[in-house]
């Protein structure tokens, strides 16, 4: 198998760590179709579930979300199954975000975007769950029924020391206007959720995709996609997400505007950060050896033509990491495929 060896440097000196990127595999592709926004998790039965959107455009058509399962660590995948569609003919389903709770329940959120005409409203999202490792699912229902806001897109969710924490891109009623990020918490294994805090305020218009990581009991790192401007915003909480302190923008450290940040813990101190280099149209990854405080060793996984990235990573049993992403590098522009690549950290 062909591999690309990429060395990680710290202050000009070889840090001793390296990423080996194996061959890329296409999991879902069809001429004229847009496959995008993959999210991958390991179910309690040890199988891998890969969720992604299937449509015709980047986001504004009557798309569905599909899912495939692998029982051999990503070597082969089941046929695609539909897991959600728009609430009616004027909506498309997008942004499938799963969370596997410590008890094994899989909670799945999906966005419901109004596609009939512009403006394309970010209407309230839906959710469902599975208690049999994704074989069957509860009915799709509205996640948040508060009429004072439109909770459009739960962008990441993780277990933390006092339950579960999720970040949601939120709009005013009607789904048009300033976006802000709301943090949700569940204390009962994902059965019920309540607002824990506001990461950003409505009048700031800074809401967007987050990457979450518990760095110690009670302490959470949140990386926030920059809605306007460059770089990547970072916030930290020392009280399980009740309050947040903003840190330094990571543009200089990362060397790009990183969109859709994804954090994957590899060990007690080692963390993988992956996402989209907006300026260069690249799928990229970085490594932290200090539990998410600094990031080194920019690694380019793939350069796409016009649409791609949105990574999702799962550690495998042999110590490697399986990364899923989407890219039109080898397909018609704006008609990307779902791909995977196996990474090894040396």
Q: What is the DSSP string of 229-251?
A: SSSEEEEEESSTTSS-EE---SH
Q: Is 340 contained in some domain? A: yes
How far apart, in whole angstroms, are the C-alpha atoms of residue 18 and residue 8? Answer: 6
- Please state whether the peptide bond connecting residue 344 to the residue before it is cis, i.e. omega within 30 degrees of 0: no
131-140 CB contacts, 8 Å cutoff, 24+ apart? 131/104, 131/105, 133/43, 133/44, 133/45, 133/47, 133/104, 133/106, 134/43, 134/47, 134/49, 134/67, 134/69, 134/106, 137/83, 137/108, 140/84, 140/87, 140/110
Q: Is 69 contained in some domain? A: no
Domain extent, residue 16, equals 1-30+250-346
How far apart, in whole angstroms, are the C-alpha atoms of residue 145 and residue 76? Answer: 39
Residue 25 neighbours by CB under 8 Å, 6+ apart: 339, 340, 341
Which of 199, 221, 188 lies closest to 292 in space, CA to CA? 221
Q: Is 102 contained in some domain? A: no
Q: How many domains does the chain have?
A: 1
Q: Is 179 contained in some domain? A: no
> Residue 253 belongs to what H/E stretch?
helix 251-254
Write the Ramachandran bin of 268: left for phi over 0, alpha for psi from -120 to 50, otherwise beta.
Answer: alpha
Residue position matching structure tokens 């009280």 = 239
**How buried is residue 203: exposed, middle or buried, by Cβ count under 10 Å (0-12/13-18/19+)?**
exposed
How far apart, in whole angstroms, are the C-alpha atoms of residue 249 and residue 59? Answer: 28
- Please state whether the peptide bond connecting residue 192 to the residue before it is cis, i.e. omega within 30 degrees of 0: no
- pLDDT value at residue 20: 86
Q: Is 129 contained in some domain? A: no
Render pLDDT for 153-180 as a digit per residue (tens, 0 to 9).
999 999 999 999 999 999 999 999 999 9
Each residue's pLDDT expressed in tens, for the chain with a length of 346 residues: 334 444 333 333 234 578 889 999 999 999 999 999 999 999 999 999 999 999 999 999 999 999 999 999 999 999 999 999 999 999 999 999 999 999 999 999 999 999 999 999 999 999 999 999 999 999 999 999 999 999 999 999 999 999 999 999 999 999 999 999 999 999 999 999 999 999 999 999 999 999 999 999 999 999 999 999 999 999 999 999 999 999 999 999 999 999 999 999 999 999 999 999 999 999 999 999 999 999 998 999 999 999 999 999 999 999 999 999 999 999 999 999 999 999 999 8
How far apart, in whole angstroms, are the C-alpha atoms of residue 229 and residue 237? Answer: 23
Which of 98, 104, 110 lies closest to 189 in space, CA to CA? 104
**Contact present, 25 and 2 (Cβ < 8 Å):** no
- pLDDT value at residue 16: 54
Which of 324, 309, 312, 321 lies closest to 346 in space, CA to CA? 321
Q: Is 40 contained in some domain? A: no
Q: Is 195 contained in some domain? A: no
What sections of the chain are H helices per DSSP?
Answer: 251-254
Q: What is the DSSP letter of 204?
A: G
Please state whether the predicted TM-score (pTM) of the whole model is above 0.85: yes
* Strand pairing category for 321-327 and 337-345: antiparallel
Write the Ramachandran bin of 66: left for phi over 0, alpha for psi from -120 to 50, otherwise beta.
Answer: beta
**Contact present, 174 and 200 (Cβ < 8 Å):** no
- pLDDT value at residue 208: 98
Q: Is 237 contained in some domain? A: no
Residue position matching structure tokens 């959120």 = 109
* Collapsed DSSP state (helix, strand, coil) of residue 108: strand
């Amino acid at each position: 198998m062909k591999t690309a060896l990429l060395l990680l440097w710290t202050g000009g000196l070889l840090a001793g760590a390296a990423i080996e990127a194996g061959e890329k595999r296409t999991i879902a592709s069809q001429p004229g179709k847009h496959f995008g926004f993959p999210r991958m998790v390991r179910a309690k039965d040890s199988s891998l579930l890969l969720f992604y959107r299937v449509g015709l455009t980047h986001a504004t058509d009557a798309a569905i979300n599909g899912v495939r399962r692998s029982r051999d660590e990503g070597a082969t995948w089941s046929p695609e199954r539909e897991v959600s569609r728009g609430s009616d003919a004027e909506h498309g389903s997008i942004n499938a975000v799963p969370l596997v709770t410590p008890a094994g329940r899989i909670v799945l959120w999906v966005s419901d975007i109004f596609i009939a005409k512009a403006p394309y409203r970010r209407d309230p999202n839906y959710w469902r769950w599975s208690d049999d490792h994704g074989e069957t699912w509860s009915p799709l229902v509205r996640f948040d029924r508060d009429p004072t806001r439109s909770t459009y897109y739960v962008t990441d969710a993780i277990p933390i020391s006092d339950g579960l924490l999720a970040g949601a891109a939120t709009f005013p009623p009607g789904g048009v206007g300033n976006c802000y990020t709301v943090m949700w918490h569940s204390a009962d294994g994902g059965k019920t959720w309540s607002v824990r805090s506001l990461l950003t305020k409505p009048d700031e218009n800074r809401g967007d995709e987050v990457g979450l990581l518990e760095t110690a009991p009670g302490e959470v790192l949140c990386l926030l996609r920059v809605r306007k401007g460059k770089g990547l915003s970072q916030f930290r909480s020392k009280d399980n997400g009740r309050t947040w302190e903003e840190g330094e923008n990571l543009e200089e450290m990362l060397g790009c505007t990183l969109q859709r940040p994804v954090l994957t813990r590899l060990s007690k101190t080692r963390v993988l950060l992956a996402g989209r280099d907006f300026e260069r149209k690249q799928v990229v990854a970085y490594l932290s050896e200090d539990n998410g405080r600094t990031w080194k060793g920019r690694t380019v996984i793939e350069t796409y033509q016009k649409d791609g990235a949105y990574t999702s990573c799962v550690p495998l049993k042999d110590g490697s990491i399986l990364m899923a992403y989407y890219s039109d590098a080898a397909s018609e522009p704006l008609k990307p495929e779902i791909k995977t690549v196996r990474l090894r950290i040396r």
